[in-house]
A and B are shown apart, each in its own frame.
Chain A
Amino acid sequence: MGNRKFKIYRGDNTKGELVDYNCDITEGMVVLDAMHRIQADDANDMACRWNCKAGKCGSCSVEINGRPKLACMTRMNEYSPDETIMITPLKAFPIIKDTVTDVSWNYKQNKKIKPFSPVQNKKNTEKGLVMQQVDVERTQHFRKCIECYLCQNVCHVIRDQGAQDKFVGPRFMIRLASLEMHPMDDADRIPAIKEDHGSGMCNITRCCTEVCPEDIQITDDGIIPLKERVVDRYFDPVMILFRKIFKK
């Protein structure tokens, strides 16, 4: 498969440049393999993150030719043999070094979310929670998230508008959705979803869904239903009346 050309960002948040590298490619190699070969032979101190090499841990997120991707699940043969492959860090987060970015903001968002609070009723038994498979499927779908933050990286609210303090981003919207749709969860997060987590900031561009390596239907199955729940609670006159009467 021959020798291929790469341009990789080397530097930090203040200064850096695209550096040229070459690497011999063999059958089946993914972009992360090429990065490792370059690191071992020509650039010992080149920073990159990875763990599983199989799309399970969400560590190796970078932009490849401008597209946010997992380096370990991007095969070299997706690109034509004469194409130079450009690898740059995620744009939405501060660069630490080379392709490694500071994603600590995401961990702070998670901490703001009220955790799972199991209902204490007769379905919470000695043998565990009693829930049917069909009722947990939606929650399980969201829990496939590997926290690669590719969706956070492309969401324009975070990336371009810099509204980091107003919106938790798509990753945590689906974490919220997974909790809200958990059949045995007792907490009410709707007020927080509206006020603190900023559900109103999302204008359903679906860019997040497009890049999700786990094919999670972030927007249609997660964010939109949450927005509907917020609307039901705050703006639906029938619901408001209903709650007044029944003091819910």
Chain B
Amino acid sequence: MLDISGIRQIEFDVLVIGAGGAGLCAAITATKESKKVGLICKSLLGKAHTVMAEGGMAASLGNVDKRDHWKIHFRDTMRGGKMLNVWRMAELHARHAADRVRELEQWGAVFDRTKEGLINQRNFGGHRYPRLAHVGDRTGLEMIRTLQDYGIHKDIDIHMECTALDILKDESGKVAGVVCMYRETGEFIIFKTKSLILATGGGGKAWEITSNSWEYTGDGYAMAYEAGAELMDLEFNQFHPTGMVWPPSVRGILVTEGVRGEGGILRNSEGKRFMFDYIPEKFKNETADTEEEAARWLAGDKDARRPPELLTRDVVARAINAEVKAGRGSKHGGAYLDIATRRSAEDIKKKLPSMYHQFKVLAELDITKESMEVGPTCHYFMGGIRVEADTTMSTVEGLFACGECAAGMHGANRLGGNSLSDLLVFGNLAGTGASNYAKQLGAVPKFNEEDAKKIIRNATSILNREEGGNPYLLHEDLQKNMQNNVGIIRTDSELQEGIQNIENLKEKNKNVKANGSSQFNPGWHEALAMRNLLITSEAVARAAHLRTESRGAHTRDDFRDESEEWYQYNIISKKGEDGNMQVIKERRKDPNPELERIANATLEDLEAEVAEERKS
């Protein structure tokens, strides 16, 4: 008999799961108001996905182009998200990003500088002005190291290489804690807490070609789902247009959009700069239509319009995909990304040092001399845990979410650079929201012991089983399924097949077996993650099947246009009474009229309005 009293327990006011930008920021903020703050992560501190971010963080600082303003950042974000973003979240983000970036500088971040000595900003897809604060192409490293070095001097109880398995609640349905496992020893621990913040990142490891690491198995989505929370917009999976395609072993590794921001262009096998053929109607007025105009823009002409390579990611990814399908792909099935003929070798090494290094070592290619081969790679989840904008609380009392694992901020498509600033803005709001909730709660709710036992038994049975399937191979089967049936371009029949395959894999997963002991056993960890990957994949596939339109990152070959009707709806996934996944359309709330006006204003009008505001 399993005895819960034999398992170590620690009590918190606020516990944060995940030590990326969002989790660290939330924990730091929580220490302002709460006494006992905890932070746990699956890897070592400083190794979360955030460390890999390259290009920068978007904020309307206006250091490079003074015309920038939160309203214009907001408009860009809404248009990039195809107007499906939660209005209030996009507003909060655009309003607060600049303050948060400056705060990060006070905490020790050393950004690249402008001539005046302020934080420099670079161009990125979908952003009207140079808006991304950056450090070469290692902005994520700068961000996570700053938060880490600042955070370790706050009163935060940090548990590294500790995996959260499932959430505990009390009789009334409030969050009461979480069952975790130390990866090193396999020992279980129960963290009791008044409020719990999920900052676990995404689930891109469900696909074969992905820029994501082993950590991205959708743990946050699955834990929230099992706890009864609602997931939203999971059909929107961003495929970044430029992942490496060759050699095969590095397929999917990211090539930052910064390459295009610094002037890089895309060509097909015929040498044609093909993006001019793919400019969507909505962006025609704001995009250059000749190479000559694009060149003027790069040279700094403020009246020239942006080159089409800097259209939003969904557009560029689909364009590359179409070129390859039409037989005009690069040697290994991608497109050519050329920075070599656009900038001097010295500039490239200075602005994009880690890209230079990455290609030299991994592909034996000198990007100052040759073109890179690139193609779409699964990159980011716009959807996730449904939260209330100002507090970040989910639909379960006491459960909060921020960063990539939360839904709403990015709508149907995220703009590059908007994630890192999202982490700061909503990490901060989550820290405050969770603290406020904890304060009014009084005592830590009492968790249900039977639930805790069940979680632990499920985990250990994977090790104790006499025999069973290999979790790594099961994972590979899931990745193939998602790549082939739930990829960039989707159809009804493939999605149905994808869902059926997931059902079969769920059955197989019931008998998965990990060999060896419980000590630092990646096979066991892989098997534990399978449940999360399967819940995440199922929610993605079912939502993608339900949404019969193409919008942003969700492209249906059988429904090629955006539909007015679908604009009205979000798709919500939730665990039903019968234990099966319920996937339903839910009508969106009406927007605040002022925000709607800003998002739909023409650029000229909005620029004039902002200029007028500044005068007075």
Interaction A to B: yes
Partner-B contacts on A (CB < 8 A): 12, 26-30, 33, 39-41, 44-59, 73, 75, 96-98, 100, 103, 107, 110-111, 115-116, 118, 123, 127-133, 136, 139-140, 143-147, 175, 182
Q: Give A132 to B46 CA distance when docked, in angstroms.
A: 28
* A33 with B141, Cβ < 8 A, contacts A110-B152, A111-B152, A127-B63 known: no
Report the minimal beta-carbon distance from A121 to chain B, rounded to whole angstroms.
13
Q: In the complex, are the beta carbons of B110 and A139 less than 8 A apart?
A: yes
Residue numbers in A under 8 Å from B563 (CB-CB): none
CB-contact partner of B520 in A97, A111, A146, under 8 A: A97
Q: Which of A53, A73, A100, A129 contacts B105 (CB 8 A)?
A: A129
Contact of B519 among A53, A97, A133 (CB under 8 A): A97
Q: B214 touching A50 by the CB < 8 A rule?
A: yes
| Given known A-B contacts A45-B514, A51-B213, A98 and B520 have beta carbons under 8 A apart | yes
Q: Which residues of A contact B324 (CB under 8 A)?
A: none
- Other than the given A28-B249, A52-B51, A53-B253, 20 more pairs (CB < 8 A) read A26-B248, A30-B362, A33-B249, A41-B472, A46-B522, A50-B213, A54-B52, A54-B250, A54-B362, A55-B358, A58-B46, A59-B44, A96-B520, A103-B44, A111-B152, A116-B107, A127-B102, A132-B113, A133-B112, A147-B46
Q: How far is the CA of A57 from the CA of B106 in the complex (A)?
A: 24
Please name all residues of chain B whose beta carbon is closer than 8 Å to the beta carbon of A29 when the two chains form the complex.
247, 249
**A100 nearest in chain B by CB position:** B520
> Is B361 interfacial (CB-CB < 8 Å)?
yes
Bound Cα distance A45, B472 (Å): 11
The reply to whether B108 and A115 form a contact with Cβ atoms under 8 Å apart is yes
Q: A27-B248, A115-B108, A136-B113 are in contact. Are A45 and B138 (CB under 8 A)?
A: no
Among A28, A54, A118, A182, max chain B CB count under 10 A is at A54
| Chain B contacts with A in 578-598, Cβ cutoff 8 A | none
**Residues of B contacting A56 with CB < 8 Å?**
51-52, 138, 140-141, 354
Which residues of B138-186 have CB atoms within 8 Å of chain A's CB atoms? Answer: 138, 140-142, 145, 149-150, 152-153, 160, 184
B52 touches A143 (CB 8 A): no
The docked-state distance in angstroms from the alpha carbon of A153 to that of B110 is 27
Chain B residues whose CB sits within 8 angstroms of the CB of A144 once the complex forms: 138, 141
A51 close to B253 (CB less than 8 A)? no
Q: State A71–B43 Cα separation when bound (angstroms).
A: 17
Task: State which of B115-123, B374-382, B402-410, B443-451 sits at the interface with chain A.
Answer: B115-123
Contact B250 A58 (CB under 8 A): no
Is B106 within 8 A of A51, CB to CB?
Answer: no
B361 touches which of A75, A100, A103, A133 (Cβ 8 Å): A75
In the complex, which of the residues A33, A51, A116 contacts B108, with contact meaning CB atoms closer than 8 Å?
A116
Complex: A73 Cα to B361 Cα, angstroms: 7
Total interface residues in chain B, CB < 8 Å: 69
B binding-site residues for A, Cβ under 8 Å: 43-49, 51-52, 61, 63, 102, 105-108, 110, 112-113, 116-120, 135-136, 138, 140-142, 145, 149-150, 152-153, 160, 184, 213-215, 246-250, 253-254, 354, 357-358, 361-363, 470-473, 476, 514-517, 519-524, 526
Complex A-B, nearest 5 residue pairs according to Cβ-Cβ distance, in ascending order: A28-B247, A45-B516, A44-B523, A116-B108, A40-B472
Asked if B514 and A44 make an inter-chain contact with CB atoms under 8 angstroms apart, the answer reads: yes
Q: Contacts A57-B47, A58-B47; is A52 near B149 (CB within 8 Å)?
A: no
Identify 19 residue pairs between A and B in the complex whose beta-carbon atoms are under 8 Å apart, listed by A's number.
A27-B249, A28-B362, A33-B249, A40-B476, A52-B52, A53-B213, A54-B253, A54-B362, A55-B354, A56-B51, A56-B138, A57-B213, A75-B361, A130-B116, A130-B118, A140-B136, A143-B110, A143-B141, A175-B149
Task: Determine whether the beta carbon of A140 is less than 8 Å from that of B522.
Answer: no
Task: List chain B residues, Cβ under 8 A from A182.
Answer: 108, 110
Most chain B beta-carbon contacts within 10 A, residue among A55, A129, A131: A129
Decide: A40 and B473 in contact? CB cutoff 8 A. Answer: yes
Which residues on A sit within 8 Å (CB–CB) of B61? 127-128
In the bound complex, residues from chain B placing their C-beta under 8 Å from that of A118 are: 106
Contact: B153 with A115, CB < 8 Å?
Answer: yes
Residue of B215, B246, B524 near A28 (CB, 8 A) is B246
Q: For chain A, what secondary structure do more than half of its interface residues adopt (helix, strand, loop), or is it mixed?
A: loop
Distance A241 CA – B148 CA, assembled complex (angstroms): 40
Give the complex CA separation of A209 and B108 in angstroms. Answer: 24
CA distance A51 to B61 in the complex (A): 32
Expressed in whole angstroms, the Cα–Cα distance for A107 and B45 within the complex equals 9
Partner among B142, B213, B248 whose Cβ is within 8 Å of the Cβ of A143: B142
- Contact A54–B515 (Cβ < 8 Å): no
Q: Whole-angstrom distance between the alpha carbons of A23 and B152 in the complex?
A: 42
B523 and A131 form a contact (CB under 8 A): no
Cβ of B253: which chain A residues have Cβ within 8 Å of it?
A: 53-54
Which A-chain residue is minimally distant from B103 (CB atoms)? Answer: A128
Q: What are the residues of chain A within 8 A of B119 when measuring CB–CB?
A: 128
Chain B neighbourhood of A116, CB < 8 A: 107-108, 149-150
Query: Which chain A residues lie closer than 8 Å to B110 at the CB level?
Result: 136, 139-140, 143, 182
Query: If A26-B248, A55-B358, A140-B135 touch, does A131 touch B113 (CB 8 Å cutoff)?
Result: yes
B-side contacts of A58, CB under 8 Å: 46-47
B158 CB to nearest chain A CB (Å):
9
Q: Which residue of chain B lies nearest to A48 when distances are taken between CB atoms in the complex? A: B522
Residue of A nearest to B151 (CB): A115
Residues in B whose Cβ lies below 8 Å from that of A146? 51, 141
Which A residues are CB-close (under 8 A) to B136? 140
In the assembly, what is the distance between CA of A145 and CA of B519, in Å? 30
Q: Given contacts A55-B358, A132-B117, A143-B110, are A44 and B472 in contact (CB under 8 A)?
A: yes
A78's nearest neighbour on chain B, judged by CB, is: B361
Interface residue from B142, B184, B357, B515 paired with A96 (Cβ < 8 Å): B184
Closest to A103 in B: B44
Known contacts A53-B213, A133-B112; is-contact A128 B362 (Cβ 8 Å): no
Specify which chain B residues have a CB less than 8 angstroms from the CB of A132 in the assembled complex.
113, 117
Contact B522 A45 (CB under 8 A): yes
Residues of A within 8 A of B470 (CB): 40, 44
* Contact among A28, A41, A48 for B248, CB-based, below 8 A: A28
CA distance A182 to B110 in the complex (A): 9
The reply to whether A28 and B250 form a contact with Cβ atoms under 8 Å apart is yes
Q: Check if A44 sits within 8 Å of B361, measured CB to CB.
A: no
A39:B522 contact, CB within 8 angstroms = yes
Q: Is there an interface contact between A128 and B102, defined as CB atoms closer than 8 Å?
A: yes
Tell me the smallest distance from the CB of B213 to a CB of chain A, in Å.
4
The answer to whether B152 and A45 touch across the interface, beta carbons within 8 angstroms, is: no
Instruction: Compute how far the CA of A129 lies from the CA of B117 in the bound complex, rounded to whole angstroms.
Output: 8
In the complex, how many angstroms separate the beta carbon of A167 from the nearest chain B beta carbon? 20
Distance in angstroms between the alpha carbons of A144 and B51 in the assembled complex: 11
A128 with B105: CB separation less than 8 A: yes
Residues of A within 8 A of B149 (CB): 110, 115-116, 175
Given known contacts A51-B43, A57-B47, A140-B135, A45 and B524 CB-to-CB distance under 8 angstroms: yes
State A136–B135 Cα separation when bound (angstroms).
11
Contact B522 A130, beta carbon cutoff 8 Å: no
